[in-house]
Amino acid sequence: VLVNNASIFYPTPVADINQSDYQKIMNTNLMGPLFLSTTLSNKLTSNQGCIVNIVDIHADRPLRNHAIYNISKAAIAMMTKTLAKELAPNVRVNGVSPGSILWPENEAKLTQTQKQSMLDKIALNKQGSATDIANSVLFLAQSNYITGQIIAVDGGRTLNQ
Protein backbone atom coordinates (compact mmCIF):
# COMPACT_ATOMS: atom_id res chain seq x y z
CA VAL A 1 0.00 0.00 0.00
CA LEU A 2 1.23 3.45 -0.92
CA VAL A 3 -0.50 6.35 0.83
CA ASN A 4 0.31 9.71 -0.71
CA ASN A 5 -0.33 11.99 2.25
CA ALA A 6 2.24 14.81 2.15
CA SER A 7 0.74 18.24 1.52
CA ILE A 8 1.38 21.94 1.86
CA PHE A 9 -1.54 24.26 2.64
CA TYR A 10 -1.38 28.05 2.82
CA PRO A 11 -3.16 30.98 1.17
CA THR A 12 -2.22 32.04 -2.36
CA PRO A 13 -4.73 34.67 -3.52
CA VAL A 14 -4.77 35.01 -7.30
CA ALA A 15 -3.33 38.55 -7.12
CA ASP A 16 -0.32 37.26 -5.15
CA ILE A 17 0.51 34.07 -7.07
CA ASN A 18 4.21 33.66 -7.78
CA GLN A 19 6.41 30.93 -9.22
CA SER A 20 8.01 30.11 -5.89
CA ASP A 21 4.69 29.32 -4.18
CA TYR A 22 3.48 27.49 -7.28
CA GLN A 23 6.55 25.26 -7.39
CA LYS A 24 6.54 24.61 -3.64
CA ILE A 25 2.87 23.60 -3.51
CA MET A 26 2.77 21.68 -6.79
CA ASN A 27 6.04 19.83 -6.08
CA THR A 28 4.76 18.63 -2.71
CA ASN A 29 1.06 18.14 -3.45
CA LEU A 30 1.27 16.74 -6.99
CA MET A 31 4.74 15.88 -8.26
CA GLY A 32 5.74 13.91 -5.17
CA PRO A 33 2.66 11.64 -5.24
CA LEU A 34 2.84 11.22 -9.02
CA PHE A 35 6.47 10.17 -9.09
CA LEU A 36 6.19 7.98 -5.97
CA SER A 37 3.25 6.22 -7.62
CA THR A 38 4.97 5.70 -10.96
CA THR A 39 8.30 4.70 -9.38
CA LEU A 40 6.60 2.09 -7.18
CA SER A 41 4.07 0.91 -9.78
CA ASN A 42 6.09 -2.20 -10.77
CA LYS A 43 6.43 -3.30 -7.15
CA LEU A 44 2.75 -2.58 -6.49
CA THR A 45 1.80 -4.51 -9.66
CA SER A 46 3.77 -7.59 -8.60
CA ASN A 47 2.08 -7.52 -5.18
CA GLN A 48 -1.46 -6.63 -6.37
CA GLY A 49 -1.05 -3.49 -4.28
CA CYS A 50 -2.96 -0.28 -4.01
CA ILE A 51 -2.45 3.45 -3.83
CA VAL A 52 -4.54 5.78 -1.69
CA ASN A 53 -4.17 9.48 -2.41
CA ILE A 54 -5.20 12.12 0.08
CA VAL A 55 -7.19 14.61 -1.96
CA ASP A 56 -9.34 17.38 -0.35
CA ILE A 57 -12.95 18.49 -0.67
CA HIS A 58 -11.53 21.71 -2.14
CA ALA A 59 -10.51 19.77 -5.24
CA ASP A 60 -14.18 20.12 -6.28
CA ARG A 61 -15.22 23.18 -4.29
CA PRO A 62 -12.44 25.77 -4.32
CA LEU A 63 -11.43 27.49 -1.11
CA ARG A 64 -11.19 31.26 -1.55
CA ASN A 65 -7.63 32.67 -1.58
CA HIS A 66 -6.04 29.20 -1.96
CA ALA A 67 -5.80 29.01 -5.76
CA ILE A 68 -2.63 26.94 -6.08
CA TYR A 69 -3.67 24.52 -3.32
CA ASN A 70 -7.09 24.01 -4.94
CA ILE A 71 -5.49 23.39 -8.32
CA SER A 72 -2.98 20.91 -6.86
CA LYS A 73 -5.73 18.91 -5.16
CA ALA A 74 -7.91 18.91 -8.28
CA ALA A 75 -4.89 17.49 -10.10
CA ILE A 76 -4.51 14.76 -7.43
CA ALA A 77 -8.17 13.82 -7.94
CA MET A 78 -7.61 13.44 -11.68
CA MET A 79 -4.34 11.61 -11.06
CA THR A 80 -6.25 9.14 -8.87
CA LYS A 81 -8.73 8.35 -11.64
CA THR A 82 -6.06 8.28 -14.35
CA LEU A 83 -3.77 5.92 -12.45
CA ALA A 84 -6.74 3.71 -11.57
CA LYS A 85 -7.28 3.18 -15.30
CA GLU A 86 -3.61 2.97 -16.24
CA LEU A 87 -2.53 0.57 -13.49
CA ALA A 88 -5.60 -1.71 -13.53
CA PRO A 89 -6.14 -4.59 -13.14
CA ASN A 90 -3.14 -5.19 -10.90
CA VAL A 91 -3.07 -2.00 -8.83
CA ARG A 92 -6.10 -0.30 -7.32
CA VAL A 93 -5.96 3.49 -6.93
CA ASN A 94 -8.41 5.45 -4.78
CA GLY A 95 -8.57 8.66 -2.79
CA VAL A 96 -9.78 10.02 0.49
CA SER A 97 -11.01 13.59 0.38
CA PRO A 98 -10.94 15.13 3.88
CA GLY A 99 -13.04 18.05 4.94
CA SER A 100 -12.32 19.87 8.19
CA ILE A 101 -9.99 17.63 10.20
CA LEU A 102 -7.41 19.93 11.81
CA TRP A 103 -7.52 23.71 12.06
CA PRO A 104 -5.01 25.46 9.79
CA GLU A 105 -1.95 26.96 11.46
CA ASN A 106 0.57 29.73 10.82
CA GLU A 107 -0.41 32.05 7.96
CA ALA A 108 -3.62 30.07 7.31
CA LYS A 109 -4.75 30.31 10.97
CA LEU A 110 -8.47 31.00 11.54
CA THR A 111 -10.27 33.14 14.09
CA GLN A 112 -12.91 31.62 16.41
CA THR A 113 -15.61 33.24 14.26
CA GLN A 114 -14.18 31.67 11.10
CA LYS A 115 -13.97 28.27 12.83
CA GLN A 116 -17.60 28.48 13.96
CA SER A 117 -18.66 29.52 10.47
CA MET A 118 -16.98 26.40 9.09
CA LEU A 119 -18.59 24.15 11.70
CA ASP A 120 -22.01 25.63 10.89
CA LYS A 121 -21.61 24.34 7.30
CA ILE A 122 -20.89 20.74 8.39
CA ALA A 123 -23.99 18.55 8.70
CA LEU A 124 -22.50 16.70 11.71
CA ASN A 125 -21.54 20.11 13.22
CA LYS A 126 -18.05 19.02 14.23
CA GLN A 127 -14.57 18.44 12.88
CA GLY A 128 -13.39 15.01 11.92
CA SER A 129 -10.23 13.41 13.26
CA ALA A 130 -7.07 11.87 11.92
CA THR A 131 -8.58 8.52 12.94
CA ASP A 132 -11.51 9.13 10.58
CA ILE A 133 -9.07 9.57 7.70
CA ALA A 134 -6.95 6.57 8.74
CA ASN A 135 -10.06 4.36 8.93
CA SER A 136 -11.07 5.42 5.41
CA VAL A 137 -7.59 4.71 4.06
CA LEU A 138 -7.64 1.28 5.72
CA PHE A 139 -11.08 0.56 4.26
CA LEU A 140 -9.84 1.36 0.75
CA ALA A 141 -6.63 -0.62 1.26
CA GLN A 142 -8.69 -3.68 2.17
CA SER A 143 -11.41 -3.28 -0.49
CA ASN A 144 -10.32 -5.43 -3.40
CA TYR A 145 -13.15 -4.40 -5.72
CA ILE A 146 -12.92 -0.61 -5.45
CA THR A 147 -10.75 1.48 -7.75
CA GLY A 148 -10.92 4.99 -9.16
CA GLN A 149 -13.08 6.26 -6.30
CA ILE A 150 -12.65 9.24 -4.01
CA ILE A 151 -14.46 9.14 -0.68
CA ALA A 152 -15.35 12.45 0.98
CA VAL A 153 -14.71 12.25 4.72
CA ASP A 154 -16.21 15.60 5.57
CA GLY A 155 -19.04 15.16 8.07
CA GLY A 156 -21.51 16.10 5.36
CA ARG A 157 -19.82 19.41 4.50
CA THR A 158 -20.27 18.89 0.77
CA LEU A 159 -24.04 18.63 1.26
CA ASN A 160 -24.16 22.37 1.99
CA GLN A 161 -22.40 23.67 -1.12
Q: Name residue 75's amino acid.
A: A
CA-based nearest residue to 20, from 31, 12, 29:
12
Catalytic residue among 10, 22, 69, 145: 69
Task: Report the distance separating Cα 59 and Cα 115, nearest Å.
Answer: 20
CA-based nearest residue to 6, from 32, 24, 45, 40:
32
Per-residue DSSP letter, 66: B
Task: Report the distance separating Cα 63 and Cα 36, nearest Å.
Answer: 27
Q: State how far the alpha carbon of 155 is from the alpha carbons of 36, 72, 90, 106, 127, in Å.
A: 30, 23, 32, 25, 7
Our answer to whether residue 145 is catalytic in this structure is: no
Which residues are catalytic, by number?
69
